[in-house]
A and B are shown apart, each in its own frame.
Chain A
Amino acid sequence: SQTIHQWPATLVQPVGSPLSLECTVEGTSNPNLYWYRQAAGRGLQLLFYSVGIGQISSEVPQNLSASRPQDRQFILSSKKLLLSDSGFYLCAWSVPAGVIDTQYFGPGTRLTVL
């Protein structure tokens, strides 16, 4: 069966520091991968998605970047964190299936920028 891991689970970082969040998927090959952010009390915002190694689509301009160095690894990064980067970051995966891709989510990373 497929599993998705995210780490760290929680992170407290000062403004201006770098960020690296990692997501890995097991039990499937060539998945679509996604990074979402949930700000406090708000819904989900799609940040990035990837359909293959090195292929990243950005949905909104922001202070963050994403990379996919391996088939089942997705990394979210920032060179300098802002206060507004605080939130709950969720990674998700799906099996490419044309229109109906069902997304499955990881446990999330709670990021607090002080």
Chain B
Amino acid sequence: GEDVEQSLFLSVREGDSSVINCTYTDSSSTYLYWYKQEPGAGLQLLTYIFSNMDMKQDQRLTVLLNKKDKHLSLRIADTQTGDSAIYFCAESIWGLTGGGNKLTFGTGTQLKVEL
């Protein structure tokens, strides 16, 4: 079955880069996502990558995918205090169940940005 793991905490200084890592087990994953959850709020989609891609860049965000090692990372450049949140990676397998496309989430990484 699907399983997605992340480290629980990451602390960085403002202005530094943050790298949040994720490993997954299901090699048939079609899409991999990064969601952000601020305290008391819902899940905000940050970015996603299709499994046939190695890298995707979107402004301050860079997603790297190593399909061989089933490893996904999210790099946030110039991290700001407003980036403090929990970051979830998630995987889905599109079309497996009539297009149901359920998401399997990781444990979440709490990012703390210090001044």
Q: Are A and B physically bound partners?
A: no
Q: Which residues of B contact A (CB under 8 A)?
A: none
Q: Which residues of A contact B (CB under 8 A)?
A: none
